[in-house]
Amino acid sequence: MTWNYRIVKRASKDEPECYYALNEVFYESKTNQPMAFSDADTIIGNSPKEIIEVLEMMLADAKKNQPVLTEEDFG
């Protein structure tokens, strides 16, 4: 089995609108067909473009020269 991150159009439980989420998607080894995706949405947005913008912002923030936080930093 292989996996990667993919944008998945999801149905909202409480709202009539759909939303988009970045999820881990798992593939059947022999056919490479998607067979499952993670329950936990990694990133949520109103469009695929918004998910990409959030990921770009996350990467830019992570590249900043800031000290790594520990659990103790959150008193």
pLDDT tens, 9-23? 998 878 888 999 999
Domain that holds residue 38: 2-65
Bridge partners (DSSP) of residue 20 are 9, 45
Residue 71 lies in a domain: no
Residue 70 lies in a domain: no
Quote the pLDDT of residue 54: 95
Residue 72 lies in a domain: no
Residue 61 lies in a domain: yes
Quote the pLDDT of residue 1: 85
Cα(40)–Cα(21) distance, integer angstroms: 9
Residue 23 lies in a domain: yes
Cα(69)–Cα(25) distance, integer angstroms: 30
Residue 40 lies in a domain: yes
The per-residue pLDDT for range 25-57, each reduced to its tens digit, is 999 999 999 999 998 898 999 999 999 999 999
DSSP letters, 13-65, are SSSSSEEEEEEEEEE-TTT--EEEE-SS-SEEESSHHHHHHHHHHHHHHHHS-
Residue 59 lies in a domain: yes
